[in-house]
């Protein structure tokens, strides 16, 4: 074999280096030799083109975990001939949405507006001129009707379609043009004619139906002059340069305006059978026939735009008739419409000029547009590449991966090259790469007619790709086309027939042995179990405390784990399984599920659909040995029971659900098919003892979960899923709760622990969160939202609908009020992906940029005032960790306040206090509202802890200092709104009008003298009582001396700051 290869290389004279030789061997194994082809065209594709792709009729699942997918094939004419062959592959007949071949149909409609309603020629009927009648009646003091000639649709349209076989390529474009013209509503009548006999030596005739009985061309024209004749053609037929077709055109221009609508781009016109020339024309009246137009030769490009002299016009165009040739585009049709409307302006158009006396066409003939097929594939490809644009060459490469039917070629152009034009497809189709085809107008369905590359051209185009793209180009095109078709759903382009292969390879339609798919549905995104990251599945890390490393805590074995492992082993043995872990939030359902499936053997993959829509679309495509991960089944609540039943096709479906959702909302039919494991909310004593004896890890885990003492608590009726702060007119803050499933809203006085007023029912199902919308001098409104993002505003006193409703986005997780001084009411929203957005509470418009929290922010959220007077967001997740988000910070990193115990937080709300930071109210499944002071540092419950001021984050250090000054009872401390000259805070003293300025410096070095001097100037400029500089470091000697000589500067260095922290914070 090696000797034969060397001999072939020597004989060919190729000087191939070892790198090129490796490429040759690699390509030979995939492309193979070009064999002879029969009359079916390139349908008999060498099997090597499809090598490496699983057969649609026999989906393969190897050890690598690849899955079969749905493939779509063109429904070609040859398929019908194979319908009786029992050995062919089979699939089901489907309809696929078309892509539009016409670039801008709405633009085409707008371009024809000059032909719209106007005074109807030769019609004596009148109508009332309302505006002039009113003016005249007012002036004369009596009713004086003024009449005007009637206006209306005044023009017919005759579309004459060239039926030369080259026009088969533009069948879809022509159909869309005809439909667009009819939909404009501008023309009184749109009538189709089909022109045949345009080939060399042919006798031109017209017919009312494609392939119908011939009729005389004179029937197209209208002697009354109310018809526009448009001939749709590509001018490729040789008869366009002959006298027979000229005589027909002369008959039409004698009575009506006539134009040629060329389906090819302008840059290709000069290669047609006739070459138009620039002519300046003018029509004296609307719908004037071409014979009455005034003509002048246009100036050459680069010359003056002035019209030619009279003598030159008389000599060159006096005996000619100009027939405009325009593109099928808004600009081309707009220029034609202005001319036909008789606006009286000179227009420069490309025109075909014919002699009035019938001696011949004056425009010079051009070479044939379509390149002659070259039997040598390499030569044909080289000629194409020399003349085609780069976009057309790239499009040809993509078309080599699909069957060449008109709908598929348009789909590939739209999907792979969205900015390409129809002309780029024309370059490919007429570039000498395709086999010839014969006239078939009216004899078969053009959606099923397949064109074919010349032998070897498809392989050569694939070989023109980069080496690493050769085997991937087909998959790339098919996946992109499938995605594009999915986006087209519901469009107006119509459908075309196709064949879809199913997993069993059955169906009523046959598929040829060499047929190529044009689309392949995307597979669900699966990952091997060994590569699956638990964080992506919702398994939480341990709560970060101090300098302890953040990691997954050691798993504590639970009593139900042994049963769960047995269920997973049964699934590995091939038994279809649907298991659901049911329990309260924070019980450990997700972690237990992960521990059960993480050690499945090789070959298993995991699919975690993020949304209910992804689950619906992907459930039919997943293969065996797949774990379907449905953490928090409430997110998939709108999945029907039948769709849950279809999950039995998978081997192992693992879900988690809250107890209340499982009991009240999950479909009963799906419950009967599921194996349920109930997860208790607390560890059993035996579980504690066993884990402590093994590792002692529970002691360290418990030590991390430090909490703060709650201020007070009170019990409320069950079922609360949302809570909000409601400001009262007297300045107090009440709490509103929403209960499910009764839909009751109750208002509470948190200090008294009792209801305020009567409860009411909100008539809106599926509420996920509520929030108050304060109004000046009025009772606030109550905003509600569901997970679908539908927001309604209600009266907070009686639940009456305010009439305000808007939509934001799907997947809303939580919502809260976000009220700042001198700003309109706003709402904050989060979703499951971690996006946080502030919106106007009344109309829902976004305010500011979207903030990414970096992960699941938690179901509970509210906005409160911190010790520095700033409005911040607070969230709590399943771990019970309460985190503070400063939206004015440059980073999206939250500060952890404390850990709530019990950890199950469903909702929370802020209780604002005058000139003090807010308290925090929370509620969980125990139906107890607990009120906390969130800014009591955790160190109070741990007096032995030492704060490392030098290692603190500068922003956190600033918060600590301002909180400390607030506790020192000097006055109300707030962030300085001006932020001028480095001022961080302002203390408002109880003596009216007196303030002190605070500057915080986090540094391990000395604070320079210049900083103290600048603060002194700010104190003087703002007439402040004094200026305070606080640092964790020290001050320069010069700075200390400056402060000692001034009674308005106070310095607090690191040592003094630590003493104050110990005195006021107990650390």
Q: Where residue 650 sits, what CATH number does that domain have? A: 3.40.50.300
Most confident of 253-267, 450-464, 572-586: 253-267
Most confident of 245-259, 688-702, 875-889: 245-259
Residue 617 corresponds to which tokens in the numbers above?
């679309």
pLDDT over 50 at 823, yes or no: yes
Which percentage of the chain shows pLDDT scores above 70?
Answer: 74
Arithmetic mean of pLDDT over the chain: 77
Distant-in-sequence, close-in-space partners of 952: CB < 8 Å, separation ≥ 6:
960, 1002, 1032
Task: Tell me what pLDDT residue 337 has.
Answer: 92
Task: Tell me what pLDDT residue 481 has.
Answer: 80
Least confident of 377-381, 628-632, 855-859: 855-859
C-alpha 201: how far from chain center: 55
Contact 852, 812 (CB under 8 A): no
pLDDT over 90 at 960, yes or no: no
C-alpha 378: how far from chain center: 41
Binning the chain into helix, strand and coil, the percentages to the nearest 5 are 30, 25, 45
Please compute the mean of the pLDDT values over residues 864-880 and round it to a whole number.
Answer: 79
C-alpha 15: how far from chain center: 51
Residue indicated by tokens 């609307």: 286
Strand positions, DSSP E, 377-520: 404-405, 450-451, 495-500, 509-511, 517-520
pLDDT over 80 at 887, yes or no: no
Domain assignment present for residue 308? The answer is yes
Domain assignment present for residue 31? The answer is no
Task: Tell me what pLDDT residue 450 has.
Answer: 85
Assign 1037 to helix, strand or coil.
helix
Query: Which has more pLDDT, 939 or 202?
Result: 202
Beta bridge partners, 791, equal 785, 806
**What domain range is 848 assigned to?**
710-937
Domain assignment present for residue 786? The answer is yes
Task: Tell me what pLDDT residue 793 has.
Answer: 92
Domain assignment present for residue 78? The answer is no
DSSP string, 674-734: SEEEE--SS--HHHHHHHHHHT-HHHHHHHH------SEEEE--S-EEEEEEEE-TTS-EE
* Nearest alpha-carbon partner for 889 in 908, 904, 906, 868: 868
pLDDT over 70 at 467, yes or no: no
Least confident of 100-114, 292-306, 518-532, 1052-1066: 292-306
Confidence of residue 489 (pLDDT cuts 50, 70, 90): low
Query: Which has more pLDDT, 898 or 565?
Result: 565
CATH number at residue 767: 2.130.10.10
Please compute the mean of the pLDDT values over residues 59-65 and round it to a whole number.
Answer: 36
DSSP string, 15-31: ---HHHHHHHHHHHTTT
Task: Tell me what pLDDT residue 992 has.
Answer: 58
CA angle, corner 795, sides to 794 and 798, nearest 5?
Answer: 115
Domain assignment present for residue 374? The answer is yes
Least confident of 326-340, 534-548, 715-729, 961-975: 534-548
* Same domain? 427 vs 546: no
For 992-1047, the pLDDT digits (tens) are 568 889 998 988 788 989 899 989 998 888 888 899 999 999 999 999 999 988 88
Please compute the mean of the pLDDT values over residues 709-713 and round it to a whole number.
Answer: 64
* Same domain? 686 vs 740: no
* Nearest alpha-carbon partner for 799 in 763, 833, 774, 765: 763
Query: Which has more pLDDT, 579 or 58?
Result: 579
* Same domain? 685 vs 716: no
* Same domain? 183 vs 282: yes
* Same domain? 637 vs 591: yes
Distant-in-sequence, close-in-space partners of 807: CB < 8 Å, separation ≥ 6:
788, 789, 790, 791, 844
According to DSSP H, which parts of 276-370 are helical? 310-317, 330-340
Confidence of residue 220 (pLDDT cuts 50, 70, 90): very high
* Same domain? 335 vs 415: no
Pairing mode of beta strands 526-528, 1034-1035: unpaired
Assign 530 to helix, strand or coil.
helix
Residue indicated by tokens 């911040």: 872
Task: Tell me what pLDDT residue 261 has.
Answer: 93
Encode 535-558: b = buried (16+ Cβ within 10 Å), e = exposed. eebbbbebbeeeeeeeeeeeebeb
HSE-CB for 498 with a 13 A CA cutoff: 26
Task: Tell me what pLDDT residue 990 has.
Answer: 63
Residue 868 corresponds to which tokens in the numbers above?
């520095």
Query: Which has more pLDDT, 195 or 374?
Result: 195
Least confident of 46-55, 363-372, 515-524, 935-944: 46-55
* Same domain? 191 vs 234: yes
Contact 606, 634 (CB under 8 A): no
Least confident of 9-23, 25-39, 1031-1045: 25-39
- What is the tally of structural domains in the chain? 5
Residue 418 corresponds to which tokens in the numbers above?
């969205």
HSE-CB for 988 with a 13 A CA cutoff: 11
* Same domain? 861 vs 725: yes
Task: Tell me what pLDDT residue 119 has.
Answer: 56
In Å, how far are 721, 803, 805, 920, 947 from 828, measured between CA atoms?
18, 21, 16, 17, 33
* Nearest alpha-carbon partner for 904 in 664, 588, 594, 677: 588
Task: Tell me what pLDDT residue 792 has.
Answer: 92
Domain assignment present for residue 884? The answer is yes
Least confident of 312-321, 562-571, 825-834: 312-321
Report which DSSP code applies to 361: B
pLDDT over 70 at 308, yes or no: no
Strand positions, DSSP E, 532-616: 577-583, 605-607
* Same domain? 392 vs 508: yes
Confidence of residue 105 (pLDDT cuts 50, 70, 90): confident
Task: Tell me what pLDDT residue 258 has.
Answer: 94
pLDDT over 60 at 369, yes or no: no
Residue 173 corresponds to which tokens in the numbers above?
């474009």
Contacts 24+ apart (CB under 8 A), 436-442: 436/373, 437/165, 437/168, 438/165, 439/163, 439/164, 439/165, 439/168, 440/165, 440/168, 441/163, 441/165, 441/167, 441/168, 441/194, 441/210, 441/211, 442/163, 442/194, 442/209, 442/210, 442/211, 442/212
Assign 798 to helix, strand or coil.
coil
Query: Which has more pLDDT, 25 or 275?
Result: 275
Distant-in-sequence, close-in-space partners of 724: CB < 8 Å, separation ≥ 6:
735, 736, 770, 771, 772, 782, 816, 817, 862, 909
Convert 324-349 into a string of H (helix), E (strand) and C (coil).
EEEECCHHHHHHHHHHHCCCCCCEEE
* Same domain? 766 vs 643: no
Residue 711 corresponds to which tokens in the numbers above?
């201020």
Task: Tell me what pLDDT residue 576 has.
Answer: 79
Distant-in-sequence, close-in-space partners of 119: CB < 8 Å, separation ≥ 6:
149, 150, 151, 154
Boundary (domain end) residue, out of 937, 965, 994: 937
Q: What is the spatial distance between Cα 659 and Cα 664, in angstroms, rounded to a whole number?
A: 9
Confidence of residue 29 (pLDDT cuts 50, 70, 90): low
* Same domain? 911 vs 767: yes
Handedness of CA 819, 822, 825, 827 (dihedral sign): negative
Q: What is the spatial distance between Cα 860 and Cα 905, in angstroms, rounded to a whole number?
A: 7
Encode 338-375: b = buried (16+ Cβ within 10 Å), e = exposed. bbbbbeeeebebbbbbbeeeeeebbbeebeebbbeebe
Contact 407, 448 (CB under 8 A): no
Task: Tell me what pLDDT residue 705 has.
Answer: 35
CA angle, corner 546, sides to 541 and 550, nearest 5?
Answer: 25
Boundary (domain end) residue, out of 296, 320, 355: 355
For 269-285, the pLDDT digits (tens) are 877 888 898 899 998 88
* Same domain? 318 vs 188: yes
For 761-778, the pLDDT digits (tens) are 887 777 888 999 988 878
CATH number at residue 238: 3.40.50
CATH number at residue 959: 3.40.1350.10
Contact 568, 493 (CB under 8 A): no
Task: Tell me what pLDDT residue 194 has.
Answer: 93
Domain assignment present for residue 202? The answer is yes
Domain assignment present for residue 60? The answer is no
* Nearest alpha-carbon partner for 30 in 11, 48, 52: 48
Please compute the mean of the pLDDT values over residues 727-742 and round it to a whole number.
Answer: 85
**Largest interatomic CA distance in the chain:** 114
Boundary (domain end) residue, out of 322, 355, 388: 355
pLDDT over 90 at 783, yes or no: yes
Beta bridge partners, 297, equal 279
Count, in order, helices (H) and strands (E) of the chain. 27, 54
């Amino acid at each position: 074999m090696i000797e034969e290869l060397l001999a072939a290389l020597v004989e060919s004279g190729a000087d191939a280096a070892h790198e090129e030789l490796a490429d040759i061997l690699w390509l030979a194994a995939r492309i193979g030799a070009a064999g002879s082809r029969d009359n079916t065209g390139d349908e008999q594709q060498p099997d090597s083109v499809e090598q490496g792709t699983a057969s649609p009729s026999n989906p393969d699942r190897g050890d690598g975990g690849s899955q079969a997918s749905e493939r779509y094939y063109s429904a070609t004419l040859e398929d019908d001939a194979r319908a009786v062959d029992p050995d062919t592959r089979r699939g089901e007949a489907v309809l696929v949405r078309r892509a539009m071949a016409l670039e801008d149909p709405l633009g085409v409609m707008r371009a024809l507006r000059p032909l719209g309603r106007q005074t109807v020629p030769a019609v004596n009927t009148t109508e009332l001129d309302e505006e002039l009648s009113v003016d005249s009646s007012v002036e004369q003091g009596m009713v004086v009707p003024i009449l005007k000639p009637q206006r209306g649709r005044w023009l017919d349209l005759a579309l004459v379609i060239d039926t030369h076989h080259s026009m088969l390529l533009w069948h879809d474009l022509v159909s869309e043009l005809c439909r667009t013209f009819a939909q404009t509503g501008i023309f009184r009548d749109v009538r189709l004619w089909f022109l045949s006999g345009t080939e060399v030596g042919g006798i031109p005739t017209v017919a009312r139906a494609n392939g119908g009985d011939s009729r005389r061309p004179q029937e197209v024209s209208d002697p009354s002059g109310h018809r526009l004749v448009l001939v749709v053609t590509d001018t490729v037929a040789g008869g366009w340069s002959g006298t027979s077709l000229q005589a027909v055109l002369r008959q039409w221009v004698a009575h009506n305006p006539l134009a040629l609508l060329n389906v090819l781009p302008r840059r290709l016109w000069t290669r047609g059978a006739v070459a138009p020339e620039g002519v300046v024309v003018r029509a004296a009246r609307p719908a004037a026939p071409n014979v009455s137009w005034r003509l002048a030769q246009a100036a050459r490009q680069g010359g003056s735009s002035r019209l030619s002299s009279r003598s030159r016009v008389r000599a060159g165009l006096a005996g000619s008739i100009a027939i405009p040739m325009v593109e099928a585009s808004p600009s081309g049709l707009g220029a034609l419409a202005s001319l036909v409307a008789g606006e009286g302006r000179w227009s420069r158009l490309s025109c075909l000029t014919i002699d009035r006396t019938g001696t011949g066409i004056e425009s010079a003939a051009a070479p044939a547009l379509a390149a002659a097929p070259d039997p040598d594939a390499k030569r044909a490809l080289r000629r194409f590449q020399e003349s085609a644009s780069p976009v057309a060459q790239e499009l040809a490469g993509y078309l080599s991966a699909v069957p060449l039917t008109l709908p598929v070629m348009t789909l590939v152009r739209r999907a792979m090259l969205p900015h390409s034009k129809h002309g780029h497809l024309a370059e490919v189709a007429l570039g000498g790469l395709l086999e010839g085809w014969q006239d078939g107008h009216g004899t078969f369905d053009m959606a099923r007619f397949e064109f074919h590359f010349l032998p070897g051209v498809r392989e050569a185009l694939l070989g023109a790709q980069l080496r690493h793209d050769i085997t991937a180009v087909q998959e790339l095109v098919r996946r992109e086309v499938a995605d594009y078709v999915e986006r087209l759903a519901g469009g107006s382009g119509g459908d075309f027939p196709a064949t879809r292969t199913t997993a069993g390879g059955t169906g009523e339609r046959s598929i040829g042995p060499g047929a190529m798919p044009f689309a392949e549905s995307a597979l669900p995104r699966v990952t091997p179990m060994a590569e699956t990251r638990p964080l992506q599945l919702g398994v939480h890390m341990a709560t970060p405390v101090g300098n302890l490393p953040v990691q997954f805590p050691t798993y504590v074995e639970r009593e139900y784990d042994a049963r769960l492992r047995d269920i997973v082993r049964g699934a590995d043995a091939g038994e279809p399984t649907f298991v659901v872990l049911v329990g309260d939030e924070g019980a450990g359902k997700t972690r237990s599920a992960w521990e059960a499936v993480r050690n499945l053997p090789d070959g298993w993959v995991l699919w975690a659909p993020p949304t209910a829509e992804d689950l619906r679309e992907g459930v039919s495509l997943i293969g065996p040995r797949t774990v379907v991960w449905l953490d928090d089944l409430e997110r998939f609540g709108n999945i029907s029971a039948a769709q849950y039943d279809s999950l039995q096709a998978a081997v192992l479906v693992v879900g988690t659900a809250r107890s209340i959702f499982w009991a009240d909302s999950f479909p009963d039919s799906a419950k009967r098919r599921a194996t349920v494991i109930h997860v208790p909310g607390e560890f059993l004593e035996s579980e504690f003892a066993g884990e402590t004896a093994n590792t002692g890890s529970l002691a360290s885990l418990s030590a991390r979960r430090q909490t703060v003492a709650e201020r007070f608590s009170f019990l409320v009726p069950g079922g609360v899923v949302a809570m909000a702060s409601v400001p009262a007119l007297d300045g107090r803050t009440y709490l509103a709760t929403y209960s499910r499933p009764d839909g009751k809203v109750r208002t509470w006085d948190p200090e008294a622990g009792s209801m305020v007023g009567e409860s009411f029912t909100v008539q809106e199902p599926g509420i996920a969160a509520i929030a108050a919308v304060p109004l000046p001098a009025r009772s606030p409104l109550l905003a509600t939202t569901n997970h679908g993002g539908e927001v309604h505003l209600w009266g907070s006193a009686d639940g009456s609908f305010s009439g305000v409703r808007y939509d934001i986005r799907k997947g809303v997780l939580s919502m809260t009020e976000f009220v700042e001084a001198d700003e309109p009411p706003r709402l904050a929203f989060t979703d499951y992906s971690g996006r946080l957005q502030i919106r106007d509470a009344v109309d829902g418009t976004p305010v500011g940029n979207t903030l990414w929290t970096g992960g699941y922010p938690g179901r509970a959220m509210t906005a409160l005032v911190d010790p520095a007077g700033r409005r911040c967001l607070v969230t709590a997740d399943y771990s019970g960790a309460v985190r503070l988000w400063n939206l004015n910070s440059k980073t999206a990193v939250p500060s952890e306040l404390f850990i709530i115990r019990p950890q199950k937080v469903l909702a929370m709300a802020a209780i604002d206090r005058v000139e003090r930071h807010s308290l925090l109210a929370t509620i969980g499944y125990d139906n107890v509202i607990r009120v906390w002071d969130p800014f009591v540092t955790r160190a109070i419950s741990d007096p032995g802890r030492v704060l490392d001021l030098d290692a603190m984050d500068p922003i956190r250090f600033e918060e600590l200092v301002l909180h400390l000054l607030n506790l020192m009872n000097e006055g109300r401390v707030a962030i300085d709104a001006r932020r001028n000259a480095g001022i961080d805070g302002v203390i408002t003293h109880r003596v009216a009008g007196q303030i002190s300025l605070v500057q915080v410096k986090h540094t391990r070095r000395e604070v320079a003298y210049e900083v103290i001097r600048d603060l002194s100037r700010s104190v003087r400029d703002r007439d402040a009582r004094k200026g305070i500089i606080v640092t964790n470091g020290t001050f320069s000697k010069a700075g200390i001396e400056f402060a000692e000589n001034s009674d308005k500067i106070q310095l607090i260095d690191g040592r003094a700051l630590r003493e104050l922290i110990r005195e006021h914070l107990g650390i």
